[in-house]
Structure 1
Amino acid sequence: MRSWSKALVGGFAVALAVAGCAGSGSGNDSAGQTSAPSGPRTLTVWLMNGSAPTTLTDELHKEFQASHKDVTVKYEIQQWNGIQDKLTTALASNDAPDVIEIGNTQAPKFASENVLEDLTASTGDFNGANWLSSLKDSGSWDGKQYAIPFYAANREILYRKDLFEQAGITAPPTSREEWLAAIGKLKAKFGSDPDFQALYLPGQNWYTLLSFIWDEGGDIAKKDGTKFTASLDSAEAKAGLEFYKKLVEESGTKAPKDADEQTPEQAGIYGGGKVAMFVALPWELATAAKSDPTIKDKTGAFPIPSKTAGKTAPVFQGGSNLAVPANSKDKDLAKEYLKLISSDKYQAGFAKAGMIPGTSKDVSLLEADPINAAMAKASANGKAVPATPGWATIEAGQNPIKDLLTAYLTGAKSIDQATKDANDALNKAFSS
């Protein structure tokens, strides 16, 4: 789960011509109808390390096996490191697992290579009417649904309640203007300390940049069918970039302009006690508390504010999807498994565990925790990166949006040149 902000994808190392037999598993008869073989069967499920809580999966598998006679769930936890190559090999083989968890930036690549089962006709069985739109889109390709939403998370602003109070800030900001005003008050109160930072904001935190671009009405790329064309040179995208630069300059952040939020790990910087705010995922607070356990009680959260007062900015919604390999030998069982895990009962379980469930109706369960409540409030306005196989090479390599930020923030390039170069790099990746 914590690997969503990292590259989960890479090039395919196995020639997918091997997968020409995709869809020929024993779950289908010659007429294409689902048939359930008799006798003992094993359903192999691959979920990722750090995703579903063990207590939840234990209950899920017990219930599934109780309602499916002679079926055993073979549950295997996979590691994010190296999963791309492992999935590539497994999906092209005749011994594929039956249910897999994949990062939402992986789904279009696998779907376009015809190694995932088309689930379009079954979406109604999987709580499809309640799916979060950002996760639904990430699991679709060429008008068909190849993966269903599992769970997600989005960024929010974690802040020091005690420092806000001392600076005379009586409520969390609900607009960009109020956010900048809060930064001004924090600097006025604590600015004499040379180590103080009103906001820690690394130069390459491109997920945060996306919120500003989307809030302005811009986007990374425009879509035409299955084709995407980069649009970071639009007036709206440039306005989002300009606001990012304004935040960097006015906040007094000491974060490097040529590195992201993991270099150094921003939660550790916040835990040092000299930072009033940072844009983060909710669980980064636990990392910060390793440096100072008392910081948990001192920390609050609010959604990234919009330029429109009272609204939240759109947020990048990273997460995971569930899919059925085309070479699964037990597609009928796999779909029954997806039906159970996407049910209200288990989606509510994910929400109670602090994750945004794949279905929007249970998001309100996150509101019991003040840190998760901010994430829940913004989740309805979640968005995804372009659902194109070409995105695989972007995060796996040198992300052009990171390069854009560094070039513009350091003055190495003008905004026009920086956005043009980023567009060129993105378009090359989209067409690869």
Structure 2
Amino acid sequence: MKRKLVATIGVAGMMVGVAACGNDGGSDSGKSGGDKTLTVWVMDGSAPEAWIAEVNKEFEAKHKGVKVKVETQQWNGIQEKVTTALSEDTPPDVLELGNTQTAGYAVTGGLADLTDSKADLGYDGWNKGMVASAELDGQLYSAPWYAANRVVIYDKAAYAKAGVQPPKTRDEWIAGLEKIKKSDSKIQPIYLPGQSWYVYAGFVWDEGGDLAVKDGDKWKGSLATPEAEAAINFYKELQSFSTAPKDKDEATPQQSTDIVPKGGVASWIGLGWEAGGAIDAITKAGGKADFGYFPVPGKTADKPGSVFFGGSNLAIAERSKNKDLAKEWLALAAGKDHMAKYAQATEGGLLPNNDAAQFKPPAGSFAEAMAQAAPVGKITPVTPGWANVETAPNPIKDYMTKVLKGTDPKKAGEEADKVITERVNQE
């Protein structure tokens, strides 16, 4: 992920840097005074202090003379820093990578191939939606670590006034928004900007489509398809209940702190840190937030709607001088036992890589709704060129705005596909 994750409400204070971390400089892996140092890079906000201390204590107890040096990194500028580190002779041994960034590093040869270590790492137990980001062309280059996804956040008072219960299907969702609209003309049934493309991606996946698909050895955009059209039509129906701009995303303005705290919003779709941000802003303004949460509804009641998994993976540098030790540390940290403790340490606010390790969050919490959607979580197309697609101006965002303003979905899709195809095949 590209931002610091504070996915659970109330755990922001716990998700801090590791007290024993060194500076943010390069690794000194290898021999040091006769002992070995295993250097691990984690991102700010990812590793609860007590959790990583326990992992390292257990690891060091098994490997006398080996010390684990954890260095906390900042997301700002991390891609350039990782690129440089992986090209040097003394890179960090283990490093955290955003799940959408992993393929880009793998294709350069900077990451160790872990395919032969699948069994040791616990591959068979990993969440299938998270695994996709760790692989490229059938080879494994990292272990999924954690993820988070969006849920629907709603104002309990507004829903109660309209007599609406959290829906299980898309039809129930729309029917509920209709009731809210009729109950109070001054409130938006849902705040949904026109360019919330991660939300739209989930609808495309629900229809059996994708944003881009493999075409021989290349990739091509796939918005000019019946699946993408069905998805944007549903998005358009949802967006009709909102007064949000059709040419902006959820961060422009920031929905959680600039829109929701002002009132007049019955529901919105967001991440845990956004829910926490809205609660803080409302509290500071002298109000009291009373939110409820439910997974994005699916087409049928048997499973929720698909959601984008934002998260991180743990990889090993190809030039690491301690690959075997790094693999053992990775197997320990990403293993079921410690992932269960990780889920507990984050109070269920971050999803562990193994569904069996999921912490049972409190009933009615954001974490509970997020966990309910975890089995249908997915990521964007896994290819090094995907990062080019997200570069502004994002063609998916432009496509969405055009359709919402009246352009034929097929025509808008064909225009977007040309840009996606060109960009996605650039590495």
SS at match of 1:283: helix
Correspondence for 1:181: 175
Name the CA shift for 1:52/1:231 in 2 (closer, same or farther; >3 Å).
same
C-alpha change, 1:295 and 1:426, in structure 2 (3 Å) is: farther
Which residue is equivalent to 2:109? 114
1:367 Cα offset (Å): 5.5
Measure the CA separation in 1 of the matches of 2:105 and 2:204. Answer: 28
Match of 1:419 among 383, 390, 413: 413
Correspondence 1:217-296 to 2 at 5 A = 217-223=208-214, 227-249=218-240, 251=241, 253-268=242-257, 269-293=259-283
CA distance in 2, matches of 1:329, 1:368: 46
- Could you tell me which of 39, 45, 52 is aligned with 1:57? 52
| Separation of aligned partners in 1, 2:417 and 2:149 | 25
Check conservation: 1:141, 1:226, Cα contact below 8 A: no
Change (3 A) 1:226 1:341: farther
How far apart are the structure 2 equivalents of 1:255 and 1:133? Answer: 34
TM-score, scaled relative to structure 1: 0.87
Relative to structure 1, the CA distance from residue 295 to residue 104 in structure 2 (aligned partners, 3 Å threshold; closer, same or farther) is farther
C-alpha separation in 2, matches of 1:372 and 1:138: 22
Structure 2 unaligned segments of length 5 or more: list them.
Answer: 6-28
Between stretches 355-364 and 286-295, larger displacement belongs to 286-295
Matched to 2:58, the amino acid is E
How far apart, in 2, do the equivalents of 1:219 and 1:295 lie?
Answer: 41
Report the secondary structure of 1:323's partner residue: strand
**3-state SS of 2:148 partner:** strand
Aligned counterparts of 1:53 and 1:2: Cα–Cα separation in 2: 18
Cα deviation for residue 368 of structure 1 reads 5.2
Give the conservation status (yes or no) of the 8 Å contact 2:307–2:376.
yes
Contact 1:286 1:296 in 2 (8 A): no
Deviations 1:93-131, CA, capped at 9 Å, x for gaps: 112110010011111111111110000111111121111
> 2:308 is aligned with what amino acid?
F
Compare 365-374 and 237-246 and name the one that shifted more.
365-374
SS class of match (1:73):
strand
- Secondary structure at the residue paired with 2:42? strand
**Cα RMSD (Å) of the superposition?**
2.2
* Pairwise CA distance, 1:371: 1.4
Instruction: Note the C-alpha offset of 1:259.
Output: 1.3
Counterpart mapping for 1:397-412 below 5 A: 397-411=392-406
Task: Name the structure 2 match of 1:212.
Answer: 203
Give the Å deviation of 1:40: 0.1
Whole-Å Cα distance in 1 between the matches of residues 56 and 390 of structure 2?
34
Aligned residues: 398
**Alignment-derived partner of residue 31 in structure 1:** none
Equivalent residues of 2:4, 2:75 under 8 A apart: no
CA change 1:2–1:105 in 2 (3 A) is closer
Identity within the alignment, %: 44
> Match for residue 317 of structure 2?
325
Please give the secondary structure, in 1, of the residue aligned with 2:112: coil
User: Given residue 87 of structure 2, which amino acid in structure 1 is its aligned partner?
Assistant: A
Distance, in Å, in 2 between the alignment partners of 1:138 and 1:299 is 32
1:14 maps to what in 2? none
- Give the SS at the match of 2:328: helix
Q: Does the 8 Å CA contact 1:400/1:426 hold for their aligned counterparts?
A: yes
Task: Report the equivalent of 1:23.
Answer: none
The corresponding residue for 1:197 is 188
Give the whole-Å Cα distance in 2 for the aligned partners of 1:316 and 1:419: 21
My pick for the range that moved more, 145-154 or 208-217, is 208-217
Structure 1 gaps, min length 5: 6-25, 28-35
Contact 1:150 1:322 survives alignment (8 Å): yes
Tell me how far apart the structure 2 counterparts of residues 271 and 226 of structure 1 sit (CA, whole Å). Answer: 48
Is residue 348 of structure 1 aligned with residue 337 of structure 2?
no
Pairwise CA distance, 1:296: 7.1
Q: 1:362-377 residue pairs with structure 2 within 5 A?
A: 362-363=357-358, 365-366=360-361, 370-377=365-372
Q: Give the Å deviation of 1:340.
A: 0.9
Query: Per-residue displacement from partner, 1:125-182 (whole Å, max 9, x unpaired)?
Result: 112111111221111111100011010011110111121111111x201111111111
Taking the aligned partners of 2:67 and 2:208, their CA distance within structure 1 comes to 49
Cα distance in structure 1, aligned partners of 2:91 and 2:313: 17
Q: Deviations over 1:217-264 (max 9, x none)?
A: 211122256632221111011000111111111x1x121211111111
Q: TM-score, normalised by structure 2?
A: 0.88
Task: Letter of the 2:47 partner, please give it.
Answer: A
Q: 135, 141, 146: which is aligned to 1:140?
A: 135
CA contact under 8 A between 1:348 and 1:365: conserved in structure 2? Answer: no
Deviations 1:79-103 (A, max 9, x none): 0000010011111111211001001
